Amino acid sequence: MEKDTKIRFWEIDSLRGIAITMMAIYHLVYDLSYFAHYNINAVSGFWLYFARATANTFIFLVGVSLSISFSRAVKKGRDSKKLFIKYLQRGLKVFFWGLIITFVTWFLVGEGYVIFGILHLIGISIILAFPFLKLRFWNLLIGTACIFFGIYIKNLTVNFSWLLWLGFRTDQFYTVDYFPLLPWFGVVLLGIFCGSFFYPDYSRKFPLTDFSYYPPIKALSFLGKHSLFIYLIHQPIIIALLYIFGIVNINL
């Protein structure tokens, strides 16, 4: 019987750990600006670039991880139909948590609540990415096209809201967290391309010194392995701590 071993690539987990740490830092800064009215410009300048670098890294790694997971499944001879169901279930699970975020932010924030945030994007992307996982190098071209088209439509406005999820915005649209499929699904596809290029056949195709036993790397890898859980709890923890220390006063 073949032994079912699951290799973890520590560099991927560590990069994801860095991204989720950066996300927590940015949300702390944003909360201080939004709830506590600190004189911090969290939506432009350095912090805007910091937030975008964080999001790009996190979403790019979604694609890399999908590619690696798919390579492992193919190597083990998994049935394509069952594999799609697995991705469908995983995507729906993440999307469900995105809907929870929508409800919570609607209750706490009101105007500007999250309609199609990063969890909505990741959930749908996991499902949509399945047919792209076999395309390998075509994902570079398709992903780049998605990004450029998304950048193009960003400055367009429409008079309907049913395509907000795709990237078409109304004139008065406002939300605190918005990651439409265009251009962000393109970033996922670039991640899939890089995953298939650097980790084909579920193996690393480049030399890399093993730093996985170093305590900082182990800590980052731990965060990366539990990134969804950390994403779900970090904002409530930050807001609770700010409330406990009297930095914010939230009246529900």
How far, in Å, CA of 33 to CA of 41, rounded?
Answer: 7
User: Residue 243 pLDDT more than 90?
Assistant: no
| pLDDT for res 251 | 56
pLDDT tens digits along 61-84: 999 999 999 999 988 888 888 899
Q: Which of 29-43, 89-103, 164-178, 229-243 has the highest mean pLDDT?
A: 89-103
**Of 38 and 93, which is predicted with more confidence?**
93
For residue 9, give the 3-state DSSP assignment. Answer: coil
Choice among 55-64, 88-97, 196-205 with the minimum mean pLDDT: 196-205
User: Residue 4 pLDDT more than 80?
Assistant: no
| pLDDT for res 19 | 97
| pLDDT for res 77 | 84
Mean pLDDT on 147-153 = 96
DSSP 194: H
| pLDDT for res 43 | 87
CA 111 to chain centre: 23
User: pTM above the 0.85 mark?
Assistant: yes
| pLDDT for res 141 | 97
Confidence of residue 2 (pLDDT cuts 50, 70, 90): very low
pLDDT tens digits along 104-137: 999 887 888 999 999 999 999 999 999 999 998 9
| pLDDT for res 18 | 97
CA 55 to chain centre: 6
Query: Which structure tokens are listed for 4?
Result: 């079912």
The full 3-state SS of 98-157, as one line of letters, equals HHHHHHHHHHHCCCCCCCCCHHHHHHHHHHHCHHHHHCCCHHHHHHHHHHHHHHHHHCCE
pLDDT tens digits along 36-49: 888 999 988 999 99
DSSP 36: S
Percent of the chain scoring above 70 in pLDDT: 96
Whole-number average pLDDT of the chain: 92
**Of 214 and 81, which is predicted with more confidence?**
214
Do 121 and 184 contact (CB within 8 A), yes or no? yes
**Of 146 and 4, which is predicted with more confidence?**
146
Q: Which of 4, 13, 1 is nearest to 211 (CA)?
A: 13
| pLDDT for res 250 | 61
| pLDDT for res 5 | 55
For residue 158, give the 3-state DSSP assignment. Answer: strand
| pLDDT for res 52 | 95
Query: For the CA atoms of 184, 186, 192, 198, what is the dihedral angle to 10 degrees?
Result: -100
